[in-house]
Every structure is written in structure tokens, then in C-alpha cells.
Copies of this chain bind each other. A is one copy, B any other.
Amino acid sequence: MAQNKEVVKRVEWRINNVGDGSSEISGHGCYMWEMTTRLAMKLYIFVKKAWEIGVNDPRKFIHCLKVGIALTAVSLFYYMKPLYDGVGGNAMWAVMTVVVVFEHTAGATIYKTINRICGTSLAGFLAFGVHWVASKAGDEFEPVIVGVSIFLLASAATFSRFIPTIKARFDYGAMIFILTFSVISISGYRIEKLMDMAQQRISTILIGTCLCIIVSLTICPIWAGQELHVLVTGNLDKLANSLQGCVAQYFNHSESSAEVNNEESNKKLIGYKCVLSSKATEDVMANLARWEPAHGRFNFRHPWKQYLKIAASMRSCASCIDALIGCINSENKAPDHIKKNMSNISLKVGANCASLIRELAITMKNMTKSSKVDILVMEMNNSAQELQDLLKSYPSLVNPSSSPNNAQDTETEVASKIEISLMEIIQVVTIASLLIEIVARVKCIGKCVEELSDLAKFQPAMCDKSKHHTVDNKINPDQDKDEEAINNKLQIV
């Protein structure tokens, strides 16, 4: 960047020098030169940003190379005569299949492969049926029968794409069905060897899809299920950081001074926004993950839908955190001495919630039932109860009608009575109340994770505590970076 600025400066210097004592024409030339330089700069910045996207998640580069490899491999069918003749010169279909079917995640590639093969086969059979009927009906009626059947089947297949269950699983297949049916049934009118054409189309599609599947699953495969898993567990950590962070920031406001960590802590604070905005990605990933075979620690029928439930409960918790942050930034600030009174226990509730959420994240990451979850839930409940008790122990409210009487109290009594207006404590009370609500919603996340551990048959954790801790430590630093990268990726995708 510094280099760029220097270039621009030099250009400006030249422009100024030239512009001083020269005609308008050379000024015009300078303008053009300046424009070109600016354009080049913009292009440079664009390329640099694009490069950073890839550097942040090198798997993107790998994906691009995979597409290149698959396409170059399928091109061989054009260059090798035996291969080319083998598919009757229809190698183009194989190339098209590779371009259209090859997707970023293995799940998406498999989904498109199966849909393409099923859609093409089904449409092929139907088209032959229609062609047979039409050919029996005579030359006059043939176009009519074929036209009407295209109209009806295309309309019906288009409508099926509006039905949620079909949309989720066979949307692409329905489109391919329309495509193949139209092409084959109208080709029947002109092409004699329809059977050959259909057989070649099927075989080229098989070649293309097989190549895609092989390249997609063998070279650094990106599994939609794994992405979903990492996204949800990463979001759990973000939620924990946000929750603990905002409680800590509010109650330790005067104490924490270091502005060095400010940017980082602010970044942590708004982590809950990722939770709120990742619904669409989660839905897509869960939808694709069910097409994937067993991979890594996930079985074929891993309960991916449960991840969506966990995510939904996380979002409900995140919206409470959003309200909490709103209250923290509201106008009715509580005075410090009141904050101090609630500080310890509130911080404890925040920390306990965060520990539980983190433990749930670890449970999911390790795919083992954690023995600590029950203890952490109990601790969280206890601290919430303590917060309630503290609120209960708070002074009673005295009806204002008695206030004049208070004025008659002796001086010693006045000294012992410290009156607090409701306005002063409203913020703290609201925050306490929201914290109690958050505790309830965190419990809900815990239940969802427990359901997942039952559905996916998580193994009980090792009893050896020290071992357990090393596992935690070993996994976190590795995955944190990974998650960061994946989340960056997902936001862009």
C-alpha cells in the first residue's frame, strides 16, 4: 500500500509539473494518465482483497485447482480419439456436467450428481414413452402430442419445485427433468437414432459425474456436515464470549482500563451477531450434509437436523444478549455503588453461563458426553438462584405516602437508612432479570445438545480428568483458527 501511495504521489508531482506551464492538451493527457493510474490502483486493491480471501481460507484455492483438474481431465475425452469415439462425439455433455455439478462441498456435489442422474433417467424413460405414443399417432398428431406433453410435464415439474419437501431434496433434479424431457422428446422429431442419443447422454453424464465425485471426495474434500459442525460449535464459543464479555464490560467498566485489548474485546462482544445471522448457511449445510456418506467422526445418518435445533436455541439466547446490550447502553445508568453491589454475583452468573456453553461446545467437538455438564448446569442454576436471593434481600419499597413520616425520624435512623430511588436501580434490575432469562435459554441449549448426544450416541467421556483437560487444550487452538477461516468463508459463500 505504501508503495502505491508513492506511485500516486509521483504521478501527482508529474501532473503538477507538467500542468504548470503547458497547454490544455497536455493537461488532458495528464488527466487520462491519472485516470489510468487510478484504475490500475483500484484493480490492484481488488486483486489484493481477493487474494486475501484465498489466503484466509486456502481451501478456496484448493477448490479452484480441483475444478481446473476435473475440467482438464474431462477434456481428455476430446483429445483421445478412442474416448471421443466411445461417446459418439458427445463429449461436450461430460464437460457441461463437470462444470454444472462440481460444487464447493462434497454434499452439494453428491446432491447434484444424484439429482442429475435420476432426473435425466426418469425424463429419458418418459420421453421415450411419449415418443412411442406420438409415433403411433401419425405424422399429423405427433407434434401436437409432443407439445402438449411438454407443456403439461414442464408445468407439473415446475410446480413440484414449490413444494417444500421436493424443493429441499430434488429442486435440481426437477430442473434437469424438464431439460432432458424437452430435449429428448423434441429431438425425436428430427433425429432418427434417438436411442443412441439418449444412451450417449446418459453415459456422458455418468462419466462427468463420476469424475466430479472422485475429484471432490479424494482431493481435500470439504464436507458440508463438517462445516455445519464447525460453524455451530464455533458459534457456541462466540456466544459464550459475547455473554461473558458484555457482563464483564458492564460491571468492571471502571476497573478495566487497558485500551489495547479494546478492539479484540469489541470483536468478541459482537460475536452473538454471527449467531443471529448464520441461519441461512446452517439450513443449506444441514440440507446438503444428509447426502454425504460417513466421513470423519460422522456416520451416514448423523442427526444433522438436531444441529438446526441447537442453532435455533442459540439464536433465542443471542436475541436476549442483544436486548441485554441494549439495556447496558441505555440512558438510565445505574450509579457505581449499586453496580458494585450486584457486580460479583452477576459476573458469576455470566461466567457460569459462558462455562456451560463452552463445555457444550467441547462436548460437541469431542463428541463425548461430558461429565462436567451436569455440574456446570447446577453451578449456573445456583448462581442464578443467588442472584434471585440477592434481589429478594433488597430493601423493600416503601409507599410514597409514608415518606413525610420518614422526615420525622431521628438522625441516627436517617444515617442507617440509605434511600435508593427505583430509577437508580432499574438498569441493574433489568440486567439481572435478563441474565435470569438467559440462564433459562442456555439451559435450553444444553437440552438440545443432550438430545444430540443421545441421537448421535456420543461415548461417555474419560473419567480421567487430567486427560480430559489436555484434550480440550489440544483441540481448541487448532480449531479456533479453523473456525475463523470457515466462518469467513461461509459469510462470503
Cβ distance A339 to chain B, nearest Cβ, rounded Å: 15
Q: Which of B159, B315, B398 contacts A54 (CB 8 A)?
A: B159
Residues of B within 8 Å of A397, CB to CB, are: 394-398, 419-422, 425
A183 contacts B by Cβ under 8 Å? yes
> Would A151 and B68 count as touching, CB distance under 8 A?
yes
> Would B401 and A416 count as touching, CB distance under 8 A?
yes
Residues of B within 8 Å of A419, CB to CB, are: 396-399
Closest residue of B by beta carbon distance from A389: B423
- Given the interface pairs A75-B150, A158-B63, A427-B433, the reply to whether A99 lies near B323 with Cβ below 8 Å is no
CA distance A118 to B433 in the complex (A): 57
Residues of B within 8 Å of A429, CB to CB, are: 422, 426, 429-430, 433
Closest residue of B by beta carbon distance from A433: B430
One of A250-258, A435-443, A463-471 contacting the partner: A435-443
Per assembly, the copies of the chain total: 2
> Would B399 and A416 count as touching, CB distance under 8 A?
yes
CA distance A440 to B83 in the complex (A): 69
Closest residue of B by beta carbon distance from A189: B78
> Would A400 and B393 count as touching, CB distance under 8 A?
yes
Residues of B within 8 Å of A265, CB to CB, are: none
A179 contacts B by Cβ under 8 Å? yes
A344 contacts B by Cβ under 8 Å? no
Main SS class of interface, A: helix
Residues of B within 8 Å of A388, CB to CB, are: 332, 423
Closest residue of B by beta carbon distance from A412: B405
> Would B183 and A326 count as touching, CB distance under 8 A?
no
> Would A95 and B186 count as touching, CB distance under 8 A?
yes
Seen from chain A, the residues whose Cβ lies within 8 Å of a Cβ on chain B are 49-50, 53-54, 60-61, 63-65, 67-69, 71-72, 75, 78-79, 84, 89, 91-92, 95-96, 99-100, 143, 146-147, 150-152, 154-156, 158-160, 162-164, 167, 175, 178-179, 182-183, 186-187, 189-190, 276-277, 279-280, 283, 315-316, 318-320, 322-324, 326-327, 330, 332, 388, 391-403, 405, 409, 413, 416-423, 425-427, 429-430, 432-434, 436-437, 440-441, 489, 492-493
